[in-house]
Amino acid sequence: MAGVGENDRDRLREYFLVLRCQAGDESAFIDLFERFRPRTLRYLKGILGSDAADDAQQEVWLAVFRGIARVTNPGAFRTWLYQTTRHRAIDVLRKEKRESELLAAKRLDEPEPLETPTNPGVEALDPDALDAELGELSAIHREVLLLRYWEGMGYGEIALISGCSVGTVRSRLHHAKRRLREVMDRRDIRKGRAVQNQRCQGGR
């Protein structure tokens, strides 16, 4: 299709998959599941940790199967899917008495920070290679990083999913990137010291 980019074609295919699911096409649901399954699981692992994510994933897709017929705008399926996934994550956190990790965040009323080119290049990082570092962040910061950089969502869509303002999304993202950089710097310092100790021991 002339003038249609790969991302547009992908969203169009997604749109028609949702319509087919709503018409009762089970193969379309399987296709949709295979398309989004790794992404919802990665999101859940980022919020809940690996142990709880697998069970939550099953609950999410059961809810999607039961509720997809009620999606009034197939073009907004991704937003609805992540809202559903987030609600399930909150249910799990509530059972573990950890719901404040997602329902509340510190410094929400701070002025919106300016994005600068000196901010960490988070978008170039692999979340699977940063499990330990992401684990040191709060759930609210892990969430905004995953949605913004590894799902490629805009501020408005993240705001709809997380139930907050765009300004709050920007603020959370700013603090999340700063916190991640601090964690990564500490990791690099520890690695540097370990290498230095190995060299010193080898020179004896």
CATH assignment at residue 136: 1.10.10.10
Q: Are residues 183 and 110 in the same domain?
A: yes
Q: Are residues 19 and 115 in the same domain?
A: no
pLDDT of residue 27 exceeding 50: yes
Q: Are residues 7 and 49 in the same domain?
A: yes
Q: Are residues 100 and 1 in the same domain?
A: yes
Average pLDDT rounded to a whole number, residues 28-40: 96
Please list, in sequence order, all residues whose beta carbon lies within 8 angstroms of the beta carbon of residue 39, skipping any fewer than 6 positions away. Answer: 151
Q: Are residues 12 and 26 in the same domain?
A: yes
- What average pLDDT is seen over the chain? 81
Distances (CA, A) of 8 to 128, 148, 152, 169: 27, 18, 14, 25
Q: Which residue type is seen at 116?
A: T
Q: Are residues 152 and 185 in the same domain?
A: yes
Write down which residue in 73, 104, 135 finishes a domain: 104
Determine the angle formed by the axes of helices 6-22 and 26-48, rounding to 10 degrees. Answer: 110
Q: DSSP readout, 127-155?
A: GGGGHHHHHTS-HHHHHHHIIIIIS---H
Q: Are residues 92 and 156 in the same domain?
A: no
Q: What is the pLDDT of residues 61-98, one digit of tens each?
A: 999 999 999 999 999 999 999 999 999 999 998 887 76
Of residues 171, 185, 189, the one with CA closest to residue 120: 185
Q: Are residues 133 and 75 in the same domain?
A: no
How many structural domains are present in the chain? Answer: 2
Distance CA 23, CA 15 (A): 13
More confidently predicted of 112 and 185 = 185
Write down which residue in 104, 137, 163 finishes a domain: 104
Q: Are residues 15 and 74 in the same domain?
A: yes
Q: Are residues 69 and 161 in the same domain?
A: no
Distance CA 131, CA 144 (A): 15
Of residues 44, 26, 48, the one with CA closest to residue 36: 44
Distance CA 116, CA 173 (A): 12
Q: What is the CATH number of the domain that holds 98?
A: 1.10.1740.10
Q: Are residues 127 and 161 in the same domain?
A: yes
E strands, 3-123, in order: none
What is the value of pTM for the model shown?
Answer: 0.77
Average pLDDT rounded to a whole number, residues 4-20: 86
Domain span including residue 153:
106-204
Write down which residue in 104, 124, 140 finishes a domain: 104
**Which H helix or E strand runs over 60?**
helix 50-67
Q: Are residues 85 and 112 in the same domain?
A: no
